[in-house]
Chain A
Amino acid sequence: MRLFRSDLPLAGDASARFLPWIIGCMVYLAALAVAAALSADNLAERWHADLAGRFTVELPPSPPSDEKEAKLRNITGFLSTIDGVTAVKLVGDSEKAALLRPWLGGVELPDDIALPDLIVVEAGKAVDLAKVSVELVAIDPAIRVDDHANWNGDLLAFSNSMKILALIVLSLIALAAVSTVIFVTRTGLAIHRRVIEIVHLVGAQDAYIARQFLFHALRLGLAGGAVGASLAAATWLGLQRWLSGGGSGLLPSLALSTADWLAVAAVPVALAVVAMFTAQATVLILLGREP
């Protein structure tokens, strides 16, 4: 308890009223940035896992015919013989419609719009796609083989961009928090100059006074941070519920794992710690400059 008692009347300062709100706003934004980055990372990882060890063979749209059926049988037969291939699956009409539903909603696809034929191939080990492509093009020059490398690359770039963005946001927020705490601490030192002088005269070290500012900043930081983090969690959960319920299927799930939530919960604690040590350092530096 002694650590938290204060000989300086810091709790009555104007800073004690506005600093928690500022910290709360910062934590709200920082927590959302972290949640967004983690969510993007999860999404990229999920999609990457879905596509790993899989490639797609795409044939241009064509009306049903015996010749087309024969070609498809020929292609699937060839694909099944490739070393390492574990499954070859022709995507049916209903599955294609399901794939399009996020873009089209409940609208039925008109009969006169033909869709390309898709064959999904799963491979247990690496397959020489260039060689496979050559073989398939010999069957039909319009065939396209997609190993999703571009898509995976884009996903990775998206995920990394989100992480960098979150890092920038967090850095800016930390910078703003440090500046605010320095300003508040300087003001506190000026307001309580007389009290600090008395505390010095009865034998207090600068560190004793700095400790009082440190715990004051920690208290305010945690109070504001708790509010900000709670609001951010509520916002994220609301968004998650909206997306999973009434949102379009195009939009990804925002679900976070327990570890992710712990990372989000660490944001207010980290910011409170930053505020705490900033206050302490400010007091030590400013008092150290006095004669």
Chain B
Amino acid sequence: MVLFENVNLRYGDGPAILQQVSFTLAPGSFHFIVGASGAGKSSLLRMMYLAQKPTSGRVNLFGQEVDQLKRHDRPLLRRRVGVVFQDFRLLPHLSALDNVALPLRVAGVAENKIRDHVTELLKWVGLAEHVDALPATLSGGQQQRVAIARAVITRPSLLLADEPTGNLDDTIAVRLMYLFGELNKVGTTIVVATHSERLVQQFSHRQLRIEQGNVRLVPQRSEAA
């Protein structure tokens, strides 16, 4: 599903962010990316959703070599990846419904199929009353749920979440992790970047631990035992 091999990343002439990173994420797996703030968690995710090219090394997504992709092919691959951004990145001028519908529209889904589908999903994430609301009128938690709905509306094979619980209280954060767990059970590969050790301890999943630019794979507790 996701293969990184000897990947290095640095921005311009700055210091190396990631060094000789190699790992494989199997389909249907659930991983945390763990590390201190600024460790490179977001950079690692950005490479997974094709917003960042590695300085060197090999990245393979869904069996396709990323550096050999043509510009025209990149969006097709991105449609198989759902992303929940740390800052949500909702389009402020669009309603919750239109924000969630965006991945369907760009994929060319017929308009008459979009509204029912999106409304159902928004209902599922508890936003049935806010379908037509603009992001600015929603709370942080509600905006995050819109962002999650947008990320999963196309039923992506790979779901990436960057600090998804960072702006949430503990109760909602736990509920969100259960939601990711549900998606994982139906076969979605999940990668959640977080700096919250408490969250990582609470949910036993494999970890990609970033320390000083190196990534170490930590098996889940049951595997370690």
Contacts and interface: CB of A to CB of B under 8 A. Distances in A.
Interface of A: 1-2, 7, 9, 12, 195, 197-206, 208, 288, 291
Contacts of B89: 198, 201
A204 B91 contact: no
Interface in B61-92: 71-72, 75-76, 78-79, 83, 89, 91
Contacts of B128: none
Given A9-B93, A202-B106, 10 more contacts: A1-B111, A2-B111, A7-B98, A199-B91, A201-B78, A203-B79, A203-B106, A203-B107, A205-B75, A205-B106
B102 A7 contact: yes
Contact of B71 (A2, A12, A199, A206): A206
Decide if the interface of chain A is mainly helix, strand, loop or mixed: helix
B106 A199 contact: yes
Contact of A201 (B49, B71, B94): B49
B135 to A, nearest CB: 12
Nearest to A288: B71
Given A7-B91, A12-B93, A208 B106 contact: yes
Contacts of A200: 75, 78
Contacts of B71: 206, 288
A201 B78 CA distance: 7
B78 A202 contact: yes
B130 interface: no
5 interchain residue pairs of minimum CB distance: A203-B79, A204-B106, A9-B93, A202-B103, A203-B78
Contacts of B103: 202-203
B150 interface: yes
19 contacts: A2-B105, A7-B94, A7-B98, A7-B106, A12-B93, A195-B91, A199-B106, A201-B83, A201-B89, A202-B106, A202-B150, A203-B75, A203-B79, A203-B103, A203-B106, A205-B72, A205-B106, A206-B71, A291-B53
Contacts of B26: none
Contacts of B154: 203
A120 B72 CA distance: 75
Nearest to A206: B71
Task: Identify which of B53, B93, B111 gathers the most chain A CB atoms within 10 Å of its CB.
Answer: B93
Nearest to A203: B79
B75 A198 contact: no
B111 to A, nearest CB: 5
Contacts of B51: 197, 201
Chain B interface bracket (under 10, 10 to 19, 20 to 34, 35 or more):
20 to 34
Task: Identify which of B72, B79, B91, B103 gathers the most chain A CB atoms within 10 Å of its CB.
Answer: B91
A7 B95 CA distance: 11
Contacts of B78: 200-203
B66 to A, nearest CB: 13
A2 B109 CA distance: 11
Interface in B95-118: 98, 102-103, 105-107, 111
A276 B207 CA distance: 50
Nearest to B74: A200
Interface in B2-52: 49, 51
Contacts of B102: 7, 199, 202
A2 B105 CA distance: 9
A81 to B, nearest CB: 82
B154 to A, nearest CB: 8
Contacts of B107: 203
A43 to B, nearest CB: 53
A99 B51 CA distance: 80
Contacts of A291: 53
Nearest to A291: B53
A198 B102 CA distance: 10
Interface in B135-192: 150, 154
B157 to A, nearest CB: 13
A288 B72 CA distance: 9
A258 to B, nearest CB: 39
A7 B49 CA distance: 21
Nearest to B94: A7
Task: Identify which of A1, A201, A204, A206 gathers the most chain B CB atoms within 10 Å of its CB.
Answer: A201
